[in-house]
Amino acid sequence: MEFFSEVWNFFFRFMLNSLLFLYDSLGRNFALSIVIFTILARLLTLPTTIKQQKNSQRMQELQPEVQRLQKKYKDDPQKLQEELSKIGYSGMMLSGCLPMLIQLPIWIWLYQSIVQALSNNPIQLLNLSKNIYSAFSHLVPLNPYFLGLDLALSPQQSGNLLGYTLVILVVATMWLQQRMMTPPSSDPQTAQMNQTMQVTMPLMFGFISLQFASGLALYFVVSNIVGIVVQYFMSGRGTLFQREPEKGGMEEKAAMPVKTGPAETVVEKGKKRGKKKKRRR
Amino acid sequence: MPKVIVKRMAALLLLALAVFLTGCGARQSVYSWPGLSVADNTVYVAVGDKVYALEAETGAQRWAFLPEEDEEKKNSLFYATPAFGGDLVFIGSWDNSLYAVDEATGSQKWVFSTQGPIVASPAVSEGMVYIGSGDGRVYALEAASGTKRWEFATGSWVWATPLVVSDSVYVSSMDHKVYCLEAESGQKKWEFKAGGAVAGGVTVGGDVLYFGAFDSKVYALEAATGQKRWEFQMGNWIWGQPLLAEDTLYVGSLDHKIYAFDATNGEKRWEFAADSAVRASPVLADSVLYIGSEAGQLYALDAATGQKKWAFSTEKGILTPPAITHDRIYVVSLDGQVQALDPGSGTSLWTFSPGEQK
């Protein structure tokens, strides 16, 4: 456990001091440092992001087959699992989670670095002293201001309009990213879950942004924008302008997937025929 | 998609969010280290949002002061050591305010609001109170009424107690500077820029001023001009106020060490390795140096050699300097528990726990 803690702290300290290095190099502009730092971290995790997306696309392509098997073995879950394993679907579920497990610590270190660098009370600064490299001690306390907004304070504490604007941007960009990332699903249950996630996640992060330092909101916004750009180059606008499938009807209509380009992953055949002209991008 | 997989995905997402939010929790929970002082057989301890006055002999509570809450003062929180002047006790709060409280009853006499949190205790001298604030200013107030006489702006938070020596006020600031001001008008006489933020107070002995900074150096300056005499590099930030006794300067550092220097030339006389970071300033009585560590040890060291005489363990950390009378050492740990100790042996004579009090 102690070894795990030491490894964790090593990487956290490295991230924190990299952020401070950027701050020192970029004219001591902390907002700019967060922007560049977040972009660099997203680029660092780009290979795993791409792998995750490709995996997700492949899973969508297998959906009709999965649904067929689900119907066929609806009374025999064990056999269903076996068949899903045979076509590689179960393995994909697990390998889809792996990139997320790699990315998660990086996001936590990044987040903790921003929070600790923005220390503005004595107890927080005392903790910072344990993690800062001596070469960066002269930077303390950091200048937390960006266009008059104190990034160390929450929007509620600062009462700054820009702080609240950042919160709105967090919600908007996260919704946009979720909408582009979520593949269309012919399974009503999955579609329902996707729809719920698309609403609750942005609202939850909006709430967090309202409560915590505005520097964190800036990090969320930049991270989301990078995510949107990456997503666009990988699969276009995704389901951004697609309507959610109607409850109940889609399962019956599900047929073979039709790939028409990077933006359109899988579209049900029946739906495609009816809306062929409207769907042209 | 199979139901079981959907459930697993949702569980994983929730787990990720929980981990993330656990990290978030640390951000907003502002808590403080307590302030402790002793005068006229009374121990004053500022813990959380309350100030307690205790009988020095028994630890019995005389009164408790809780600032009146209003919409603008929701974050009443004390870091500062209570200070005294006339029949008033002065205490600065994280809610931006300096409170003057009746020494006998604990009732509020006046309050002065600044634009930033107050971390340090004020300096009280000749009917005046000098207080630094997180708004980067130092204020000179009339002790009796709290009326402002002057203010001086520095470039960052002022987290240390100003020091008044004859007609000068010495102020250290997180803008990396130490200022010398005229006590009467607040006009700047000189300033000195260190290599890091100065969170602790300054000490003056004769014509020399001493302080430590976040560049891990302790500095000695000419008190009259601010010219540097010597400096000494340590292993981490220096936060506490140095203590000068005769020709020896005692300094604690976040590098887990306590140092003794020849005050005239900065030559190291001894160092003592503590178990953790030393933020609080040391105090001296009868040739024994008392100093607390972040892990919760109070050390009693031979001031001449740095040899440990005894150590007293508290359950939580010690970030506050101990307070001393002729026959007692008082120490407060991070949880606000006050212990009265026998200076010879370090045995506990009484304990006060604020959580058990009203």
Interface A-B, measured as beta-carbon pairs within 8 A, has a size of 94
Confidence class for position A94, pLDDT limits 50, 70, 90: low
- Tokens 């006020």 sit on residue: B169
State whether B196 and A137 contact (CB < 8 Å).
Answer: yes
- What is the number of domains present in chain B? 1
Position A41 in a domain? yes
Tokens at residue B313, please? 């363990």
Q: How far apart are CA A250 and CA B1, in angstroms?
A: 13
Chain B nearest-CA residue for A204: B17
The residue of chain A with its CA nearest to that of B118 is A121
List the single range of A210-214, A238-242, A249-253, B239-243 with lowest mean pLDDT: A249-253
**What is the percentage of chain A residues whose pLDDT exceeds 90?**
36
Any domain includes B350: yes
In this predicted model, which residue has the larger pLDDT, A249 or B319? B319
| Amino acid at position A125, single letter | L
Q: Does the beta-carbon distance from B239 to A121 stay under 8 Å?
A: no
- CB half-sphere exposure, B281, CA atoms < 13 A: 25
Q: Domain span at residue B302?
A: 287-358
Would you say residue A281 lies in a domain? no
Q: Which residues lie across from B39 on neighbouring strands?
A: B42
B293 lies in a domain?
Answer: yes
DSSP codes joined into one string, B115-159: SS---SPPEEETTEEEEE-TTSEEEEEETTT--EEEEEE-SS---
> Which tens digits make up the pLDDT trace of A28-74?
999 999 999 999 988 888 888 787 777 777 777 777 788 888 888 88
From chain B residues 29-58, the ones with a CB under 8 A of any chain A CB are 30-33
Nearest CB to A190: which of B6, B28, B197? B6
B104 touches chain A (CB under 8 A): no
Nearest to B51 by CA among B86, B115, B97: B97
pLDDT at A142 over 60: yes
For B159, the closest chain A residue by CA position comes to A122
Considering the domain boundaries, does residue A120 fall inside one? yes
Per the listing, tokens 């057989």 go with B41
pLDDT tens track, chain B, 358 positions: 444 445 445 545 555 555 455 444 434 444 899 999 999 899 999 999 999 999 999 999 999 999 876 655 556 789 999 999 989 999 999 999 999 999 999 999 999 999 999 999 999 999 999 999 999 999 999 999 999 999 999 999 999 999 999 999 999 999 999 999 999 999 999 999 999 999 999 999 999 999 999 999 999 999 999 999 999 999 999 999 999 999 999 999 999 999 999 999 999 999 999 999 999 999 999 999 999 999 999 999 999 999 999 999 999 999 999 999 989 999 999 999 999 999 999 999 999 999 765 5
Task: Decide if B291 is inside a domain.
Answer: yes
CB atoms A211 and B12 under 8 Å: no
Least confident of A83-97, A123-137, B296-310: A83-97
Give B 314-333 residues with CB within 8 A of chain A: 319
Residue A16 makes CB contacts below 8 A (sequence gap 6+) with: A109, A112, A113, A116, A117, A131, A132
Answer whether the bond into residue B354 is a cis peptide, omega within 30°. Answer: no
DSSP-assigned beta bridge partners for residue B259: B251, B271
Distance, in Å, from the CA atom of B52 to the CA atom of B33, rounded to the nearest integer, reads 15
| pLDDT, chain A, mean | 79
* CB nearest to A137's CB, from B1, B6, B216: B216
The residue written with tokens 């593949």 in the block is A183
A279 in any annotated domain = no
From the list B8, B9, B216, the residue facing A134 with the nearest CB is: B216
In 3D space, the residue among B30, B18, B49 whose CA is nearest the CA of residue A212 turns out to be: B30
The reply to whether B313 falls in a domain is yes
- Nearest CB partner across the interface for B1, out of A112, A122, A190: A190
A92 domain residue, yes or no: yes
The two tokens of residue B38 are 């002793």
In chain B, what residues touch A211 (CB-CB under 8 Å)? Answer: 24, 28
- Using alpha carbons, select from B337, B259, B1 the residue that is nearest to residue A254: B1
Looking at the domain assignment, is residue A266 inside a domain? Answer: yes
Is residue B294 situated within a structural domain? yes
* CATH number of residue B323's parent domain: 2.40.10.480
Residue B269 CA, distance from chain mean position: 26
Q: Which chain B residues touch A129 with a CB distance below 8 Å?
A: 214, 236-237, 254, 277
Does B126 contact chain A (CB < 8 Å)?
no
For residue A275, pLDDT over 60 is answered with: no
Q: Name the residue with higher pLDDT: B76 or A247.
A: B76
For residue B194, which of B168, B169, B174 has the smallest C-alpha distance? Answer: B174
- φ, ψ dihedrals at A6, nearest 5°: -65, -40
| DSSP string of B213-264, one letter each residue | -TTSEEEEEETTT--EEEEEE-SS---SPPEEETTEEEEE-TTSEEEEEETT
Residue A225 above 80 pLDDT? yes
Residues of A in contact with B239 (CB under 8 A): 126
pLDDT given at position B20:
54
Q: CB-side exposure of A169: number of CA atoms within 13 Å?
A: 17
DSSP 8-class letter at A281: -
Structural domain containing residue A258: 2-274
Out of A93, A130, A138, whose CB is closest to B196? A138
Does residue B205 form part of some domain?
no
* pLDDT tier, A255 (very low <50, low <70, confident <90, very high otherwise): very low
Asked whether residue B93 is domain-assigned, the answer is no
Instruction: Return the percentage of chain A with pLDDT > 70, whole number.
Output: 79
Q: Kindly tell me the sign of the dihedral angle through the C-alpha atoms of A41, A46, A51, A57.
A: positive
> In this predicted structure, what is the pLDDT of residue A64?
79
Residue A272 has pLDDT above 60, yes or no: no
Please report whether residue B185 resides in a domain: no
Which of B 258-317 lie inside 8 A of A, CB atoms? 277, 279, 294
d(CA A116, CA B111): 32
Contacts 24+ apart (CB under 8 A), A89-97: A89/A59, A89/A62, A92/A55, A92/A58, A92/A59, A92/A62, A93/A59, A93/B5, A93/B8, A93/B9, A95/A55, A96/A52, A96/A55, A96/A56, A96/A59, A97/B12
Of A108, A138, A208, the CB nearest to B195: A138
Query: pLDDT tens across A60-72, in order?
Result: 777 778 888 888 8
pTM: 0.82
Q: What is the ipTM of this complex?
A: 0.89
